[in-house]
Chain A
Amino acid sequence: MDAIIIETLIKIVVVVLIFSALGGFGTYFERKILAFLQRRWGPNIVGPFGLLQIIADGIKLFTKEDIIPINAERGIFIFSTLIIAVAAFTAFVAIPIYPQFTVFGYTVRPIVIDVNVGLLFVMGVMAVGMYSPLLAGMSSGNKWSLLGAARAVVALLSFEVITGLSILAPLMLVGSLSLIDINAYQMGGIDNWMVWQQPIAFVLFLIAGFAETNRKPFDLSEQDAEIIGGYHTEYSGMKYGLMMIGEYANMFVVAFLVSIIFLGGYGEAGSIVNGEAVGAWGGIWLILKVAFFFILFVWVRAAWPHIRPDQLMWLAWKVLMPLAVVNIVITGIVMMA
């Protein structure tokens, strides 16, 4: 019993460390890749290839004066920064971030808890993250923050529906909400990937993922040209840093979900067939898939303009939701037949 508690604590610490560090590296990679796509250099002064820019940014954020506006609701203003980061990190509890492997004869399963409602848990926790923009915008005492919060909540609420409905059809096929079971369903090569059986669900889930992480075509809540910084206009220093880490962690959550549910995850890695461990490269493949989707977030940001709130609503309710429902119905008919 003690061993499980210690193991779980170690896993939690590792997950928090990895993904808060990835949040920092995420800002660097985003700036660098975005710059290359837009024919610029990106950060290249501090350290080799500008790599130490992350440390410079960190020092800047830590030492910056912490401003709380006089009209802000003090408690909620501080508390709301925590929600998005905590929610994003909590979502990793039920996500297998690597196939199971053996170290010194001890088998490690790199998932904190394999709850049997894993996917439901992840999506619920991601939805809780929505309170961060809402509370931040309402407590800032700033009109742009309020507008940003309203836009963020409207977009997130609409696309929660799309996420839920689009994921339903794959879940009907798998018959389990555990991400490990979903991964196991797709074992045996590229042919068995869910994306071939559910292409519409894949596209819908990807679009909804962009909306839920407030990324470029749907980044209504923090469009500088219109509403300055949106809900984090009034935040500075480490509060802003925490929100940024939360947003990047959210991007990694979505990237992991898409890779595991639709693109085969880590495949057969970690399982034993006829006494031999197979699929040794599965974990590396999973990381490459996640990296591809992270780059796709940046790539889309470089290429596409963003859309108006009314277009977002139109897209969510008049196009994507009917498509998701039709997809579920067709999947059901095919399964019955």
Chain B
Amino acid sequence: MHIEPFENRNVSNSVYVPVDIKPYPKTGWESFKQVVARSLKGELFVGLWTVLREFIKMDWPAIEYPLEKMPMNARYRAVHKLLRLWESGYERCIGCGLCEKICIADCIRMDTRIDANSRKEVTEYSINFGRCIFCGYCAEVCPELAIVHGDRYENVSEQRAHFSLKNDMLTPMDVLKNRAQVEFEGFGALIPGSSNDVKKTPLAY
């Protein structure tokens, strides 16, 4: 690869538009002329026309929120979910406690025990959403992709404890049977069409 394309460091030179700042008026006569020019130039009517043009177009991009919602990106970090294994339906969580350890807001608590098959079972798992800062460390550290972030950003409820207990976060069995459990793409998930936005950076050399 040739080095020449990287020599040009002004990667977005074509985008910048230099602002034309005229010298400030010094004498009274000059500021009077400026006032008259600005008053009669009709700049105010440009503003009026701009909003009227949008009115005439009748094209409103506003989303009717409760009826339609924006698709959330895979990287979005909303209220957590506990996933199940696809084949057996067992909980993925192996009770290793890494999320509890790494949580910088100290808001995850879990209780575990050894069950009859001498497999480690999680009896209680809760996240205190009054403390959680949604940093995503728990999902990042989880070796089994068990605790992940969902896309449920509407976390208004009657009780502070809602969404935060194990039963609220764990994928229900009927959802799993319908193959409706959404797999977590991970923190490296690409935004659709993001390869078009890639630009040269100085780090390239």
Contact = CB atoms under 8 A, between A and B. Distances in A.
A40 B62 contact: yes
Contacts of B52: 37, 299
Contacts of B48: 299-300, 303-304
Interface string B47-69: 11011101100111110100000
Interface string A21-49: 00000000000010011111100100000
A46 to B, nearest CB: 13
Contact of A39 (B44, B47, B60, B64): B60
A303 B51 contact: yes
Contacts of A161: none
Contact of A304 (B44, B54, B60, B64): B44
8 contacts: A33-B55, A36-B60, A37-B51, A38-B54, A40-B62, A41-B62, A41-B64, A303-B48
A72 interface: no
A304 B50 CA distance: 11
Nearest to B45: A303
B54 A39 contact: yes
Contact of A37 (B44, B55, B59, B61): B55
B55 A36 contact: yes
A44 B48 CA distance: 25
Interface of A: 33, 36-41, 44, 299-300, 302-304, 319
Contacts of A39: 54, 59-62
B60 A40 contact: yes
A97 B48 CA distance: 29
A40 B44 CA distance: 22
Contact of B50 (A33, A44, A303): A303
Contacts of B55: 33, 36-37
Contacts of A299: 48, 51-52
B42 to A, nearest CB: 13
Contacts of A319: 35
A128 to B, nearest CB: 32
Interface of B: 35, 44, 47-48, 50-52, 54-55, 58-62, 64
Contacts of B35: 319
Contacts of B60: 36, 39-41
A310 to B, nearest CB: 15
Given A38-B51, A303-B44, A303-B47, 7 more contacts: A36-B54, A36-B55, A36-B58, A37-B52, A39-B54, A40-B60, A41-B62
Contacts, number: 36
Contacts of B51: 37-38, 299, 302-303
Tell which of B50, B51, B60 has the most Cβ of chain A within 10 Å: B51
Contacts of B54: 36-39
Nearest to A217: B44
A307 to B, nearest CB: 12
Nearest to B58: A36
Contacts of A300: 48
Contacts of B64: 41, 44
B68 to A, nearest CB: 12
A39 B44 CA distance: 20
A43 to B, nearest CB: 12
A259 B44 CA distance: 22
Nearest to B47: A303
B47 A304 contact: yes
Nearest to A300: B48
Contacts of A33: 55
A300 B49 CA distance: 10
A39 B54 CA distance: 7
Contacts of A304: 44, 47-48
Contacts of A38: 51, 54
Nearest to B66: A45
Contacts of A44: 64
Contacts of A37: 51-52, 54-55
B50 to A, nearest CB: 7
A319 B59 CA distance: 40
Nearest to B46: A303
A267 to B, nearest CB: 27
A33 B64 CA distance: 17
Contacts of A41: 60, 62, 64
The 8 closest A-B pairs by CB, nearest first: A303-B47, A37-B51, A303-B51, A302-B51, A40-B62, A303-B48, A37-B55, A39-B60
A119 to B, nearest CB: 28
| Most chain A CB inside 10 Å of its own CB: which residue of B54, B58, B61 | B54
B11 to A, nearest CB: 32
B62 to A, nearest CB: 5
A36 B59 CA distance: 9
